[in-house]
Amino acid sequence: MGPSTSAEGLTSSDVPEVYVLEFTIEQLDEASRPRWNWTEQRYTDDDILHLEVSLALSRAGNQETVGGLYDIHDYRAGEFGSFSSPQSVRAVVYRAATALTDEFVRSASNGEFGRNLSQIQRPATPDDLVNSWDELSGEWKVASAIVAVFFAVLVLSLAIRMLLCVVQFIYWLCVPGWLRQPRTYLPPRAVRSRPRPRFEGESKLDAPVDADSEDVEVEE
């Protein structure tokens, strides 16, 4: 794909695979149309820019037209600013050219301009991801949502785990040892064995050995 200036002096036998893509502004008019204002409850003037653009595809050698695209659209000043400014008009033209070029790439990749241009591709955009999601069936959407939730929970749990490790590391690094809360190594009181009563006349040697129990004398 070459610029339009590269087509001069070329024949179809010289460059059979070279094409020229020409973008043209067919019509550009500024106008004012009434628009209902819900805040003021009346019609107000709404400045618009009427723009008609086209893309023409031709072979570089014999200038044979392969195809083309045409777009007509009205752009509001509320979105781009006053059209008395060249920057606003330039932004509108850039928006129209981008949209028409994207449409050309989609059409060419589908083979509408011949097999030679069917390999044209463009980088993926967020709009492509949205369109791909809309084309999925209901079952695939549910499965995709479940997988996405699973990975989101997994990532969140890992993030929380890492955060707790960082907090613990900062605690042991910044807090002096004499201020840290000592760890409890003994089991809870409810888990410890209860003391065994020792009856009268029974000595400590007669009682069974139990390291965890304490002798308690029982008076009759």
pTM exceeds 0.75: no
Q: Which amino acid is at 168?
A: Q
What is the pLDDT, as a whole number, of residue 75? 92
Question: With 70 as the cut, is the pLDDT of residue 102 above it?
Answer: yes
Residue 2 has pLDDT above 70, yes or no: no
pLDDT band, very low/low/confident/very high, at 1 (cuts 50, 70, 90): very low
Residue 17 pLDDT more than 60? Answer: yes
Nearest to 15 by CA among 54, 63, 48, 56: 63
- Residue 138 pLDDT > 80: no
Angle at 108 between CA 106 and CA 113, to 5 degrees: 145
Comparison of pLDDT for 33 and 155, the residue scoring more:
155
Question: Rounded mean pLDDT of 35-62?
Answer: 87
- How distant is the alpha carbon of residue 112 from its chain centre? 31
Mean pLDDT of 120-124: 67
Q: Report angle CA 81, 85, 91 to the nearest 5 degrees.
A: 65
Mean pLDDT of 105-116: 83
Residues 6+ apart with CB under 8 A from 27: 50, 51, 52
- As a whole number, mean pLDDT of residues 126-137 equals 66
Locate 49 and state its tokens: 């820019």
Q: Give the pLDDT of residue 220.
A: 46
pLDDT band at 142 (very low <50, low <70, confident <90, very high): confident
Closest CA to 32 of 16, 48, 12: 48
49-53, 62-66, 170-174, 216-220: the lowest-pLDDT one:
216-220
Question: What residue spans define the domains of the chain?
Answer: 4-122, 133-181
Q: Give the pLDDT score at 44.
A: 83
End-to-end CA distance of the chain: 112
Please determine, for residue 77, whether its predicted confidence score (pLDDT) is greater than 80: yes
Per-residue pLDDT at 5? 38
Closest C-alpha among 20, 34, 32 to residue 67: 20
pLDDT at 106: 86
Largest Cα separation within the chain, whole Å, is 128
Q: Residue 188: what pLDDT?
A: 59
Q: Is the pLDDT of residue 10 over 70?
A: no
Q: What value does the mean pLDDT take over residues 13-23?
A: 73
Q: Are 70 and 82 in contact (CB under 8 A)?
A: no
Comparing 136 with 36, the larger pLDDT belongs to 36
Q: Which is higher by pLDDT, 38 or 197?
A: 38
Task: Name the 3-class secondary structure at 49.
Answer: strand
